[in-house]
A = this chain, B = another copy of it.
Amino acid sequence: MSGPRILVAEDDPELREVVLRGLREEGFDVFGAATAARLLELAERHPPDGVVVDIGLPDADGRDLCQSLRARGVTAPVVFLTARDALPDRLAGFAAGGDDYLTKPFAFAELVARLHALLRRSPPAPAAAADIVVDPVTHAAQRGDRSTPLTPTEYRLLALLVARAGEAVRRRELVQAGWPHGAIAHDNTLDVYIARLRRKLRELESSAELATVHGVGYVFR
């Protein structure tokens, strides 16, 4: 639910399920696709932190898929899976913008280890919506060259609201996101944090606002 998001393109249903379940158990937030076209759709809707691609997909070569992803601005690391272990194949994979190359049959633990190694080099891309950016490294909200620091709780809330910009986020979800350890006593605490975030957006002179959806929650837009 909150781990790094991994997209998997694999046409063999059995292997796909194995990989999906395994990655889910490792704490990743995973989505699976059987075709290159479907994976591109997924990537639009759920910008990934990492991608696992079978070279032999029914509708396209995995390397072409990788290049399509890069062309669409997806910078997340790409791991290729393949039965072909010939050297030229591997070199072509790297040339296409891939980051790693695993030959079937592979040990699942190694896929996980390599994914983790790649992810620690590629921190999650900052979430952005409207004119403001939430930087996960700095824990700050920035608009253009201006920037305001966020407290840990403010950061968790704003990150969720920005990630789901344009869509109403229920109070319940915000409370769960902002206070992962235990619930808070008064719901009013959330109101206070929303007010503080509004003030900080105002200080940044952002065009974005945190609109309240009466009886439901809030929207970032």
Partner-B contacts on A (CB < 8 A): 77, 87, 90-91, 94-95, 98-100, 107, 109-110, 113-114, 116-118, 121-122, 137-139, 149, 151-152, 166-168, 213-216, 219
Contacts and interface: CB of A to CB of B under 8 A. Distances in A.
Contacts of A166: 138
A3 B1 CA distance: 42
A137 B214 contact: no
B94 A114 contact: yes
A121 B152 CA distance: 27
A87 B100 contact: no
B167 A215 contact: no
A107 B87 contact: yes
Nearest to A116: B94
Nearest to A217: B139
Number of copies of chain A assembled together: 2
A122 B109 CA distance: 24
Contact of A167 (B91, B94, B113, B138): B138
B121 A214 contact: no
A70 to B, nearest CB: 11
Contacts of A114: 94
Contacts of A167: 137-138
Contact of A113 (B90, B117, B137, B216): B90
B98 A139 contact: no
Given A87-B107, A100-B100, A138-B167, 10 more contacts: A77-B121, A91-B113, A95-B113, A98-B117, A99-B121, A100-B117, A137-B167, A137-B168, A139-B168, A151-B214
